[in-house]
Chains A and B, each alone.
Chain A
Amino acid sequence: NAGVTQTPKFRILKIGQSMTLQCTQDMNHNYMYWYRQDPGMGLKLIYYSVGAGITDKGEVPNGYNVSRSTTEDFPLRLELAAPSQTSVYFCASSYLENYNSPLHFGNGTRLTVT
């Protein structure tokens, strides 16, 4: 299993540009999450999904959109990039019904908006 795969690893955007951060998992996990991590801070939840076709807002959803058309994929969309969205973005997944299933993180996408 590849686990959770995120692309790209790095990206520089100009203010106002848009992009999609890709996330895919091959563990058949039902739950998927997007977190952002600012320097010196913990991770903050942007959006999450409990299964295909279902998404919910987390703590910091403004400026982002998500979709979950399949169990495997959970892309994060930035429509109008702003400097405040400069951060490291982590996608993660887990299988909630399995009491011993931990949260699996991808390797992250480092995004800079200038």
Chain B
Amino acid sequence: GENVEQHPSTLSVQEGDSAVIKCTYSDSASNYFPWYKQELGKRPQLIIDIRSNVGEKKDQRIAVTLNKTAKHFSLHITETQPEDSAVYFCAASKGSGGGADGLTFGKGTHLIIQP
């Protein structure tokens, strides 16, 4: 089955700086890579996703890049703000949405924005 590794487990950055979270996946058949943000005690919320026919996608301060050859994808957050503090999860699947047989999640990155 699919295996998703996520690094780092904790990331502390100064407000206004950029943050980068990296993930690798093992199954070359995976073609959908979403990123979720989870605040304490809340449900995960989709913030951005990318499909395997695209190398990069941006949405305001958030961007995701995908390298299919190396089987890795990354989340980039620029001009970080206090409200960006949360746990971020990457995931991989075949198909969009929840995946044809579910999403495989990384273990998460706790992003801390220092004032």
Point out the residue from B49, B96, B98, B108 that lies within 8 Å of A42, measured CB to CB.
B108
Residues of A within 8 A of B97 (CB): 31, 94-96, 98, 101-103
Distance in angstroms from B36 CB to nearest chain A CB is 8
Which range contains the number of B residues in contact with the other chain?
Answer: 20 to 34
Contact A41 B108 (CB under 8 A): yes
CB neighbours (8 Å) of B98 from chain A are 31, 33, 48, 92-94, 96, 103
A44, B89: Cα distance in complex, Å? 12
Stretch at the interface among A12-20, A62-70, A78-86, A104-112: A104-112
Q: How large is the interface on A (under 10, 10 to 19, 20 to 34, 35 or more residues)?
A: 20 to 34
Within 8 A of A (CB), among B9-50: 34, 42-46, 49
Asked if B43 and A101 make an inter-chain contact with CB atoms under 8 angstroms apart, the answer reads no
Determine whether A54 belongs to the interface, using a CB cutoff of 8 Å to chain B.
no
CB within 8 Å of A: which of B56-109?
Answer: 89, 91, 95-108
A residues apposed to B, CB below 8 Å: 31, 33, 40-45, 48, 50, 56, 58-59, 90, 92-96, 98-103, 105-108
Q: Which 9 A-B pairs have the closest CB atoms?
A: A94-B97, A42-B105, A94-B98, A45-B102, A105-B43, A103-B98, A102-B46, A42-B107, A101-B97
Chain B contacts to A: CB under 8 angstroms: 1, 4, 6, 34, 42-46, 49, 89, 91, 95-108
